[in-house]
Amino acid sequence: MIENTSQVWTVMIVLGLGTFLLRFSFLGLIGSRSLPVWALRLLRYTPVAVLPGLVAPLVLWPPATGGVTDPARLAAAIATVGVGLVTRNVFAAIFGGAAVLYLTPWLMGL
């Protein structure tokens, strides 16, 4: 349980400010000045460089199961990527993944 109210507000406000500064950093400081070609080339790959690495441990070692690989979550992840690759549609990929997530335990229970 959280009892330390002053810590709660310190964390909330400093984390809020820090996160805003991270978000504002390049947008705010660089503004209208143009970035060099190599920087643009690097930045093109930010989403595919960050998000897969963020997700991979959550897929293989979900905190909800105490880090034990779960067939339903693994199958759901594969289905999400598969549907996303085929349809190129984020909405379809989310639904495909969610369907597999809920259907796998049910199928395995048969």
Partner 1 sequence: MSIRRSAFLRGLWAALPFSLVIAPFGLLFGVVGTEAGLDIVEVMGFSIIVIAGAAQFAAVQMMADHAPTLIILATSLAVNLRMAMYSASLTPHLGKAPTGMRALIAYCLVDQTYAASMIEYERNPQQSLGEKVAFFFGTVLPICPLWYAATYAGARLGTRIPPEFALDFAVPITFLAMIAPLLRTPAHIAAAGVSVALSLALAFIPYNGGLLVAALVAMVTGAQVEAWTERRRVA
Stretch 80-99 residues interacting with partner 1 (CB under 8 A): 80-85, 88-91, 93-94, 97-98
Dist CA 11 CA 46 (whole Å) = 27
Does 75 bind partner 1 (CB under 8 A)? Our answer is no
> 38 to 57, contacts with partner 1 by CB under 8 A?
38-57
Measured at the alpha carbon of residue 68, what is the angle toward residues 110 and 75, in degrees to the nearest 5? 50
Dist CA 35 CA 46 (whole Å) = 15
> 5 to 34, contacts with partner 1 by CB under 8 A?
5, 7-16, 18-20, 22-28, 30-34
